[in-house]
Amino acid sequence: MNWKRLRKAGVGALVVALIFSLLPAMAFADAVVGETVVTLGADLTPQQRDAILKEMNVDQNVQIIEVTNEEEHRYLGKYVSKATIGTRALSSSKITLAEKGAGITVKTNNITHITETMYANALITAGVKDAEVYVTAPTKVSGTAGLTGILKAFEEAADTKISDEQKEVANEEMVRTSQLGEKIGDPDKAAQFMMDLKQKVAEEKPDTPAEFRDLIINVSNEYNINLSEKDIDQLTQLLQRLSELNIDWGALSDQVKKLRDNLDEILNSEQTKGFLETLLDWLASLLDALKEIFSSDSA
């Protein structure tokens, strides 16, 4: 037996194995914290483009990709009317990759129908994680087309690919949540409801249509939301499609929990801010009263 040749072959095989084991990391090497990508609506005027880039606090050297109206119709056409989507792509977005475990944060401007939590929820469904997102437009828009650009930006920034099916489900979720928010008059409650539905699907793993319906009805009762049969049917179909996606349910559950934690932090900070403002107002009133007392005494 030629031991020298065997040792050479063994070393060669080990080197090849190490190379292949490093390939996934090398392929994801471009997805670095701080990586920023901007998407601009293809129908923006030059003046609008410049104004939005300034609003986003980025310069002309930032990576920019365009989103067309055709792309917006491709993922939304099944769920909203053509008139709602419109004929011009104006919604724009900026996405910045964040530290692992940071979760998703979303800020919006000139977006009237889709809340920040709705965007974040839909992004989690699409597989986006740990990112800071900003969505804007030159004038008031519904925001339904905004998700298309965000997903396109994340694919570029993270050097990854989101399947068309996953994009469609994320867009449908966003639309259904927005419609429910309008129906019950509370978009934030609708977003929290949808967040809990996904959390339950990740934990309980329902299988049959009846199990999905029971889950939806149980969670809607907890939120005191009155769903019609049409609502339940649409949500059942949505959750079934969601469950069939090739996604990491553990990661989805973690991102939902992180989103909930981020929302709680914002709420707590707003409550703290409100308390401090009340305290300052009270102190100001007290000082005014004392000033009045001392003024009258001196008189």
> Residues 41-59: pLDDT tens digits?
999 999 999 999 999 999 8
**pLDDT of residue 265 exceeding 60:** yes
Q: Position 93: which residue type?
A: S
Q: What's the confidence (pLDDT) of residue 172?
A: 94
Q: What's the confidence (pLDDT) of residue 53?
A: 95
How many structural domains are present in the chain?
2
Shared-domain flag, residues 115 and 54:
yes
Q: Of 120, 141, 164, which residue sits at a domain end?
A: 164
Q: Which of 52, 230, 39, 17 is nearest to 149 (CA)?
A: 39
Residue 294, in any domain of the structure: no
Shared-domain flag, residues 178 and 241:
yes
Shared-domain flag, residues 191 and 107:
no
Shared-domain flag, residues 135 and 39:
yes
Residue 4, in any domain of the structure: no
Shared-domain flag, residues 70 and 113:
yes
Shared-domain flag, residues 115 and 202:
no
- Residue 281 — pLDDT band, cuts 50, 70, 90? low
Q: What's the confidence (pLDDT) of residue 186?
A: 95
Shared-domain flag, residues 141 and 238:
no
**pLDDT of residue 271 exceeding 60:** no
Shared-domain flag, residues 129 and 219:
no
Q: Of 164, 181, 202, which residue sits at a domain end?
A: 164
Residue 22, in any domain of the structure: no
Q: What's the confidence (pLDDT) of residue 138?
A: 95
Between 233 and 272, whose confidence is greater? 233
Q: Position 16: which residue type?
A: V
Residue 189, in any domain of the structure: yes
Residue 13, in any domain of the structure: no
Q: What's the confidence (pLDDT) of residue 111?
A: 94
Q: Give the residues across from 37 on adjacent strands.
A: 63, 95
Contacts for 80 with CB less than 8 Å, ≥ 6 apart: 144, 175
Instruction: Kindly report which listed range (23-27, 141-145, 190-194, 229-233) carries the lowest average pLDDT score.
Output: 23-27
Residue 283, in any domain of the structure: no
Token pair 């609003």: residue:
55
| CA–CA gap between residue 137 and residue 149 (Å, rounded) | 12
Residue span of the structural domain in which 211 resides: 171-268
Q: Are 132 and 96 in contact (CB under 8 A)?
A: yes
Q: What's the confidence (pLDDT) of residue 182?
A: 94
Q: What's the confidence (pLDDT) of residue 290?
A: 54
CB atoms within 10 A of CB 97: 22
Instruction: Kindly report which listed range (56-65, 81-90, 189-198) carries the lowest average pLDDT score.
Output: 81-90
| CA–CA gap between residue 67 and residue 54 (Å, rounded) | 19
> Residues 283-298: pLDDT tens digits?
565 555 555 554 555 4
Both tokens of residue 292? Answer: 């009045």
Shared-domain flag, residues 53 and 135:
yes
Calculate mean pLDDT across residues 218-226: 96
% of the chain surpassing 90 pLDDT: 57
Please spell the DSSP secondary structure of 170-212, one letter per residue.
HHHHHHHHHHHHHHHT-HHHHHHHHHHHHHHHHHH---SHHHH
Residue 290, in any domain of the structure: no
Residue 23, in any domain of the structure: no
Q: What's the confidence (pLDDT) of residue 32?
A: 81
pTM here? 0.74
Shared-domain flag, residues 235 and 263:
yes
Shared-domain flag, residues 110 and 196:
no
Q: Of 123, 145, 164, which residue sits at a domain end?
A: 164
| CA–CA gap between residue 150 and residue 79 (Å, rounded) | 18
Shared-domain flag, residues 183 and 111:
no
> Residues 150-183: pLDDT tens digits?
999 999 999 999 999 999 999 999 999 999 999 9
